[in-house]
Amino acid sequence: MPKRSSAATLTDIALQAQVHKTTASRALDPARRHMVSPEVVRRVEAAARALNYRVNRAASALRTGRSGTVGVLLPDITNPVFPPILRGIEQALAAEGFFVLVADTGNEQSPDQAADRMLAQRVEGLIIATSSLHDPLVERLGQDQVKVVLVNRRDEAGSMPAVVSDDMLGMKLAVDHLAAIGHRRIAHLSGPLGLSTGALRKAGFERAMAAHGLTPAGFAECAAYSCEAGEAGTRHLLRSGASFTAIAAANDLIALGSIQALQGEGLRVPQDVSVIGHNDMPLVDRVSPPLTTVRILHYEMGFRAARLLLDSLRGVPGTTSTVVLRPELVVRASSAPPPVGKAERA
């Protein structure tokens, strides 16, 4: 009779199955099961089921150095960009028996603290969605040989493996669309330029404009990827005296804030000004007007980041490379040809 007080251990099932606990351990591990006779495997499995045995990962982690966990650092899980990324990560990891430790570093804790606590937990690697272009944390982790994959953002040096969307291409799609329907005076509302998404989308905007022989009709950096920052940026743009018939925003929330601010000034979207977002967040197809935007494959991004990390943990070569996913344009009602006679004016 095994003690019912606490969980069954290998010793318990070894006793019950009349084998040594080492044998029991082997019989229960798919990777080592072949070393054990079928009959013994059967007995051990029966005993394990009977005693409701579950391997103690704390013990095996201590012994093997592998915890079966991966840490994920997110800036703000309530930002709609991140749930599908997290979901992709979780699905890829769960398929391999790994678990996700999440830390939302938006509020109380710093990414550094969170990363340290995760390393104490002996996570086998880290997936980071919080990194800025020059991130001391990422640098430090790299020096400490911690396995790291960046997701959605990349570092300036490009020395860390990352899975990102092609941010330059995304803005090119936006600008190409606006130019194709007749816009010549296009302004840009960027995200924080300290983030790769902010900097690259701005660069992509400028390059795409140049390719059309256009010069930016206005620019403002938004301090955050939020509606509020989008409103503020737009007011700044309007006050600067810039004249434009379209705004390419670096993010859907910024675009929504921008629409709000434009409407507050009596401007109609898209009749007076077209606005295009970025990300294709949930519900932006139902706002008024439905938002034209650039769709990013967030789930895929998370999934690939996790796969990359898993491969790297297993020593698969070539896992230091960066994966770049293709975004696509989604045209809805917030973009339309510029008002007649205005496109060429000013």
The item of DNA, its own copies, none sharing an interface with residue 84, based on CB under 5 to 8 Å by kind, is: its own copies
Contacts of 61 (CB under 8 A, 6+ apart): 67, 68, 122
Binding of residue 58 to its own copies (CB under 8 A): yes
Q: Which of 15, 50, 101, 343 binds its own copies (CB under 8 A)?
A: 101
* Residues 32, 26 contacting (CB under 8 angstroms): yes
Which range, of 15-23, 150-158, 274-282, 335-343, touches DNA by CB under 7 A? 15-23
45-49's contacts with Cβ under 8 Å and 24+ in sequence apart are 46/17, 47/13, 47/16, 47/17, 48/8, 48/13, 48/24
Binding mask 25-64 for DNA (x = CB under 7 A): xx-xx--x-xxxx-xx------------x-xx--xx-xxx
| CA distance linking residue 66 with residue 312, whole number of Å | 14
> 323 has which bridge partners?
163
| CA distance linking residue 121 with residue 114, whole number of Å | 11
Closest distance between DNA and the C-beta of residue 215, in Å? 60
* Residues 144, 310 contacting (CB under 8 angstroms): no
Q: Which of 50, 119, 168, 181 binds its own copies (CB under 8 A)?
A: 119
Closest distance between DNA and the C-beta of residue 46, in Å? 14
CA-based angle 76:287:335, to the nearest 5? 105
Binding of residue 321 to DNA (CB under 7 A): no
Q: What are phi and psi of 145, to 5 degrees?
A: 65, 20
* Side chain identity at residue 301, one-letter code: M
Residues 271-290 close enough to bind its own copies by CB under 8 A: 281-284, 286-288
| CA distance linking residue 235 with residue 264, whole number of Å | 10
Given the complex with its own copies, which of 49 and 345 has the nearer CB atom? 49
Closest distance between its own copies and the C-beta of residue 70, in Å? 11
Closest distance between its own copies and the C-beta of residue 271, in Å? 16
Binding of residue 205 to its own copies (CB under 8 A): no
Given the complex with DNA, which of 29 and 156 has the nearer CB atom? 29
Instruction: Dihedral sign for Cα 309, 312, 316, 319, please.
Output: positive
How many residues bind its own copies (CB under 8 A)? The answer is 54
Closest distance between DNA and the C-beta of residue 54, in Å? 7
Residue 126: its H or E element: strand 126-128
Residue 99: its H or E element: strand 99-104
* Residues 257, 283 contacting (CB under 8 angstroms): no
Q: Which of 9, 16, 25, 67 binds its own copies (CB under 8 A)?
A: 67
Binding of residue 314 to DNA (CB under 7 A): no
State how beta strands 186-190 and 293-295 pair.
Answer: unpaired
Residue 85: its H or E element: helix 82-94
Binding of residue 121 to its own copies (CB under 8 A): yes
Given the complex with DNA, which of 24 and 308 has the nearer CB atom? 24
Given the complex with DNA, which of 53 and 82 has the nearer CB atom? 53
| CA distance linking residue 64 with residue 54, whole number of Å | 17
Which range, of 9-17, 41-49, 79-87, 152-160, touches its own copies by CB under 8 A? 79-87
How many residues bind DNA (CB under 7 A)? The answer is 29
Pull the structure tokens for residue 345: 């004016």
Residues that bind its own copies (CB under 8 A): 52, 54-59, 61-62, 67-69, 76-78, 80, 82-84, 86-87, 90-91, 94-95, 97, 99-104, 106-109, 114, 116-122, 144, 256, 260, 281-284, 286-288
Which stretches of the chain bind DNA, using CB under 7 A? 6-7, 9-11, 19-23, 25-26, 28-29, 32, 34-37, 39-40, 53, 55-56, 59-60, 62-64
